[in-house]
Amino acid sequence: MSMVGLVSMSEVYPRPSGPMGRSDLLKKAYQLVMKNKEKLARIITLENGKPYRESLGEVAFGSSYIEWYAEECRRVQGTVISSPSQSKRMMTIKQPIGVCALITPWNFPLTMVTRKACAALSVGCTVVLKPSEETPLTALTLAELFREAGLPEGVFNVVTCDRDGAADIGGTLCESPLVSLLSFTGSSAVGKILLNQASGTVKRCHMELGGNAPFIVMSSADLDDAVKGALDAKFRNTGQTCICPNRFLVQEDVHDEFVKRLNIAMEKQLVTGDGFAVGTTQGPLINAKAVDKVDDYVKDAVSKGAKLVRGGTRSSSGTKFYPSTVLTGVTLDMRCMHEEIFGPIIAIYRFKTEEEAIRIANATSYGLAGYAYTTDSKQQWRMAEALDFGIVGLNEGLVSTAESPHGGFKESGIGREGGIGIGLDDFLEVKYVCIGGL
């Protein structure tokens, strides 16, 4: 991939348009996306496999970032600094960082684009987007709608490739001096490679990387709420989300009842099948490699003594479906307790005390999301502060919104997306101006 001919921000996105002009443009793009929601949802289901109803939900969620940044960009402010000298006036101004390279994953092919691209566009940056090779059509359709909304040519650029070309494109974007920022969502392993490649130009990097989220059920929990939260958080996109629970830690005196209620709810509510079929809640995994990986986690756990409560037997050879699975008797030496599963497996570990749950939950290099269910208000505060994760859901399984910051601790990433003000920070440079001789 050659970066020669890449159009600079100032050439195609004249500053006189200002935040008001960019806000109006994004609002128009939001209206076009919502007008074409059925078309976009169909493309997402065809590419990604998630049920059509869930794809419609992604369009609504993803478009909320378009609307959010259309409003946030009008609130970017500098500051006036109290000067220590009467002959000087001091201030800061915020300016767009420049060309932003965005690399997005397949699991949310629309939302991951709007969350990044609209933040960049709203403050006047240009974008070079490399969507996942698994789901390029959603990104291309979205870019076309932005052009229809009036975005100038050269502002929202999409570069597609096959799997073999992904590393070359990523490396070029990281190493090019024309690119000022790299924003990546994906695995921690790939994120580390990109950070290393971007270091040569001291490029600003935003990373949302892997997760190993705990889901803690305390003895004081409302078990019906906990079961609902487990299904909401775990089985969205068939378990293929960075913030879905990976390790279920259930206090011993409610363990059996939680497993019982969970199994009943899964039997009633989860239906695996064609994403366009009425009633389907669980689609296929993204590819055959993902099916093999999930099946290996189950086999590893069972071989080490875990009990298979439901599921765990892969569908007929050649298909990409995997049944919703529950494992109990899970121990700390099993792979499912240390590695990101990214599939429809609930692996349950029985614990005794709050201190034990916190210790196990935090015993990971990841720190993206964590969940805890308890009706004890004092315990809620203790756990909210003790859990070492960038996102904590207390008695809530659906935590993501455009209004809240999204990002992780430790090896789960750098920076935040969304939220009031904070989601724009990576895309802005702060310039200090000192005027003397007054």
Whether the pLDDT of residue 15 is over 70: the answer is no
- Per-residue pLDDT, averaged over 230-252, amounts to 96
CATH 3.40.605.10 domain residues, the chain: 9-209+412-435
Distance CA(171)–CA(166), nearest Å, equals 9
Distances (CA, A) of 77 to 92, 170, 343, 423, 431: 9, 33, 42, 14, 12
Whether the pLDDT of residue 5 is over 80: the answer is no
Whether the pLDDT of residue 413 is over 90: the answer is yes
Distance CA(319)–CA(159), nearest Å, equals 30
Task: Give residue-wise pLDDT tens across range 139-175.
Answer: 999 999 999 999 999 999 999 999 999 999 999 999 9
Give the burial string for 129-166 (b: 16+ CB within 10 Å, else e): bbbbeebbebbebbbebbeebebeebbbbbbebeeeee
Instruction: Report yes or no: 119 and 70 within 8 Å, Cβ to Cβ.
Output: no
- Residue 303, token pair as written in the block: 């071989």
- The rounded Cα 377 to chain-centroid distance in angstroms is 29
Instruction: Report yes or no: 243 and 208 within 8 Å, Cβ to Cβ.
Output: no
**DSSP structure class, residue 149:** T
Output the 3-class SS for 396-408: CCCCCCCCCCECC
User: Active-site residues: which are they?
Assistant: 208
- Give the pLDDT of residue 319: 85
Residues 6+ apart with CB under 8 A from 83: 89, 90
Segments of 98-149 assigned E as strands: 99-103, 126-130
- Give the pLDDT of residue 315: 75
CATH 3.40.309.10 domain residues, the chain: 213-394
In the chain, % of residues over pLDDT 70:
95
Task: Give residue-wise pLDDT tens across range 58-93.
Answer: 999 999 999 999 999 999 999 999 999 999 999 999
Distance CA(179)–CA(190), nearest Å, equals 19
What element of type H or E holds 205?
Answer: strand 204-208
Kindly report the CATH class assigned to 9-209+412-435: alpha beta
Q: What is the pTM of this model?
A: 0.92
213-394 carries CATH number 3.40.50.300? no
- Give the pLDDT of residue 2: 53
Whether the pLDDT of residue 16 is over 50: the answer is no
Give the burial string for 13-28 (b: 16+ CB within 10 Å, else e): beeeeebebbbebbeb
Distance CA(76)–CA(317), nearest Å, equals 54
Instruction: Report yes or no: 428 and 79 within 8 Å, Cβ to Cβ.
Output: no
